[in-house]
Structure 1
C-alpha cells in the first residue's frame, strides 16, 4: 500500500493506492481544508487513524467488532509515501509558501513508520502526473505541430499561488524539474499592465506573477479596475465581501453579469497566456505546454476564447515558433496526486527489491 498527498495552500488531498507500474484508482481518498490544521502530521494522524467501529449500543458483539475493526486497520501497511507540496523542497524538507507549515520527510517517516517518504514541489508532482493523463482529461487550446524527436514540456498552474515546472527528455522518459518561476518579477506588456504594476507596487515591495496569476491575484486585478475605473456594481461588491472574492468575480465575468468582472477575466487570461509563453521560451518546450491548477478548469470557456493564446503568442519574432507548441489545459484536478502516487509506487518497488 502506498500513500500519496497533494498539499496546497487551500486544501490537502490524501489517498491510498495499491500502485504497481500503472495508474490505478485510489482505494481511499479524502480532502482536508489545510488552514484548519497546524501541520501535515495532524492531517496524516487523522487520515491514518483506524476507523471507529460501527456497533449498536448494548450489542453483545461490541468487543468482537472493535477487535475486528482494529485488525483491519493494522493490516494496512504503508510501504512508501510521496507528497507534492506548494513550496520549495530542499533535502526532503519544505517550508510551505502559503501555509505556516514545516514539512520534513524523515520526520514523517519516523512518526508513521513509513520506510520511504519523498517530498516534491507540487508542480513537480503535477509534472509526473501529466505523464499518466488520458486525452479526455485535457482541453486543447492550441494543437501545435511538435517535432518528431522529443524535446521538453512546460507546466504552469495558477491556484492559491502560481507554480511552474519543466520536463526534459533524457532519451528514455520525461524528467520533471521543479521551479519557483511563479515568484519572478511581473513584466507588463502594455499601458494598462504598466498601471496595474504601479497599483500593486503601492501594496507590495515585490510584484511577482503570482501576485496576479492566482485566486488572490484575480481579486487584485478586480480591485485595480475598481479603483481606476470606478465601475463596481453594489450587488457584486456585497457578494465579494460575503463570499470567495475570486469565485464571485469569475462567476460574474463568465456569465457577463458585470463589465468590471468581464474586464478582470480578460486581463487575467491575457497575462496568464503571456507568462505561459515566457515559460515556453525559457524551457524551449517544443513538445507542449500544460496549464494546470485549480483556476484553469473553472475558466476554461474564457481560456478557449482566444485571449490566452493571443497573450501566449505575443512574442514578436518568436510567434511562429510558439504557434507550433501544443497548449493543453489539465481538467483532472487530481493530477498532482497521480504524480505523487507514481513516485511513491516506484519507491515501494525499490523497497521490495
Structure 2
C-alpha cells in the first residue's frame, strides 16, 4: 500500500532503550489506534552502548530495515533547540544526529511520558490492573500517567474533541510533602544529603534505596541491601522487615502523590501508574496502604473515589505511544 508509513519509534529511559519498527496507516478521522502495526520490538540496556546511534544502528541492522519514513524519539527529558536535556540518561544527542543515523529528515523528539500518555488511549483490558475498582473514566477529561523508574516521569493527556494534546511535567522534581511522622523523619535525613528533597528522591529506584537507608538510621539498623531490586525482593520474600517497611513507605507515598496529581490536573479520565519498577511488586502494591493514602483527603474523598487508578505494564507501550504521537503530529502539519 502506498499509504503505509514506516516509523522507527524509540522509548528511552534511564536504564532501558525500547525500539520498535512500525507500519502505520494515517487516517484523517484520527482513528489511528487500529491503524498501527508493530512489526518488530527490542529492548536494550542503555549502559551497554556508548551512544544512541549505536543502538539505532544495531536495531536497524538486526531487523533488516531498509525504509524509514519517520522517527519518533521519546526520552526521559526534554528537547531544547532539538538537543536533549536530561539528567537520568547516559547519553546526550541532538535530533540532527538521529537524522544522520537513520537517513531521514522526519525525526521528532518528545518526552517518554508524553509517549506513554498517548498509549493510554489504546490499552487492552489485559494491559490494565485496576487499583480503584470504584473509578469510572469520564470521556473527554484529562488523564495523567506517573511512573517510578530510574527517575519519576509524569505527563498529562488532554482531549479536545478528537484532538489530543499532552502536557509534559516535571512533577517528580516538585517538593516532597511528608504526611506521617516517619516520613517527616525521612525528609529530615534526606535534607542532609540533598539541597532540595523532591518527590523523585523517594519515588524512584534510587528513591527506594533512599527510604531504606533513612529507615535503617531511624531504626538504628544496618543498611545491608544496596540496590532497589535487592530491597524489593527482600520485602517480597519476607527476609527483611526493614525492606518491607521501606516498600510500605514507598507505596504509601505513591498513594498520596497520585491523589495530589489527580486533584492538580482534574484527571477524571483516570490515573495510570507505569514505570520500570512497579510491575515487579504489583501484588504487594495492591495489598499495601496505597489506596488508604490515595483516599486520605477527607474533603475530596468522593471526587477521588470516582477516578480510576490503573497499573499498566510499561513494555512496548511507550513505543506505540511515540508512533501515535508522530502520526498525529505529521498529520496536523499536512
User: 1:40 is matched with which residue?
Assistant: 52
SS in 2 for 1:293: coil
Q: How far apart are residue 180 of structure 1 and its match? A: 1.0
Distance 1:28 1:147, change over 3 A: closer
Shift of 1:113: 1.5
Q: Secondary structure at the match of 2:197?
A: coil
Q: 1:300 to 1:147 in 2, by over 3 A?
A: closer
Q: Secondary structure at the match of 1:29?
A: strand
The answer to which of 105-114 and 81-90 deviates more is 105-114
Alpha-carbon distance, 1:101 to partner:
2.4
1:274 matched residue in structure 2:
256
Q: CA deviation at 1:25?
A: 5.0
Alignment of 1:271-350 (within 5 A): 271-346=253-328
Of 11, 19, 26, the match for 1:14: 19
Aligned counterpart, 2:214: 224
TM superposition shift of 1:232: 4.5
The answer to whether the 8 A contact 1:95-1:101 is kept is no
Q: How much does 1:219 deviate?
A: 0.9
Compute the displacement of 1:131 (Å): 1.4
Question: Tell me, what secondary structure is at the counterpart of 1:43?
Answer: helix
* Mapping 1:256-275, distance limit 5 Å: 256-275=238-257
Over 3 Å counting, the alpha-carbon distance change for 1:91 and 1:170 in structure 2 is farther
Q: Decide whether the 8 Å contact of 2:140 with 2:160 is kept in 1.
A: no
1:79 aligns with 2:79: no
- SS of 2:268's equivalent in the other structure is coil
Query: Aligned Cα RMSD in Å?
Result: 2.2
Matched, 1:192 2:197: no
- Cα separation, 2, equivalents of 1:337 and 1:23: 15
Greater Rg by CA: 1
Contact 1:166/1:179 (<8 A) preserved: yes
Instruction: State the TM-score, normalized to the length of structure 2.
Output: 0.89
What pairs with 1:23-102 in structure 2 (closer than 5 Å)?
24=36, 26-49=38-61, 73=64, 76-102=66-92
Alignment gaps of 5+ in structure 2? 1-5, 26-31
Q: Name the CA distance, whole Å, in 1 between partners of 2:330 and 2:262.
A: 34
- 2:122 match: secondary structure: coil
CA contact (8 A) 1:166 1:176 kept: yes
Which residue of structure 1 lines up, in the alignment, with residue 127 of structure 2?
Answer: 137
CA contact (8 A) 1:232 1:260 kept: no
Structure 1: gaps spanning 5 or more residues: 52-72
